[in-house]
Amino acid sequence: SSELTQDPAVSVALGQTVRITCQGDSLRSYYASWYQQKPGQAPVLVIYGKNNRPSGIPDRFSGSSSGNTASLTITGAQAEDEADYYCNSRDSSGNHPWVFGGGTKLTVL
């Protein structure tokens, strides 16, 4: 099956912009989705498709993609954005529907 690779940890100063990346061959064929997970809580979808936000997700969250890399950008990071972020996409190998990245822990300083 395909794999998605994320940096394990990223930090950002309060109010600054941070980009979290996700790399994998499946991203050449499919868009990534991004999920935010806070401790003890279920994941929450924050970005899907080309750059779509579900209702209730602040517009400081945005997504982009180029080649085999997808990115989640938080413009003006807030303290409440500190969380784990996971990317996922369809699996281009065709063996399984979905594949997840290993997750990135975002620390807001």
Partner 1 sequence: EVQLVESGGGLVKPGGSLRLSCAASGFTFSSYSMNWVRQAPGKGLEWVSSISSSSSYIYYADSVKGRFTISRDNAKNSLYLQMNSLRAEDTAVYYCARDRLGESLDYWGQGTLVTVSS
The binding site for partner 1 (CB under 8 A) comprises 1, 31, 33, 35, 37, 42-45, 48-49, 54, 84, 86, 88, 90, 96-103
- The kind and range of the H/E element at 74 are strand 69-74
Nearest approach, Cβ of residue 85 and partner 1 (Å): 11
Consecutive H or E run containing 69: strand 69-74
Nearer to partner 1, 15 or 54 (CB): 54
Q: And the tokens for 87?
A: 């990317």
In the complex, minimum distance from the CB of residue 15 to partner 1, in angstroms, rounded to a whole number: 28
What minimum distance in Å lies between the beta carbon of 99 and partner 1? 7
Query: Measured from the CB atom, is 12 or 85 closer to partner 1?
Result: 85
Specify the residue, 14 or 44, whose C-beta has the smaller distance to partner 1: 44
Least separation in angstroms between residue 37's CB and partner 1 is: 8
Token look-up 């690779």 returns 5
Beta bridge partners of 37: 84
Question: 24 or 101: whose CB is closer to partner 1?
Answer: 101
Give pairs for 57-65: CB < 8 Å, separation 24+.
61/34, 63/31, 63/32, 63/34, 65/27, 65/31, 65/32
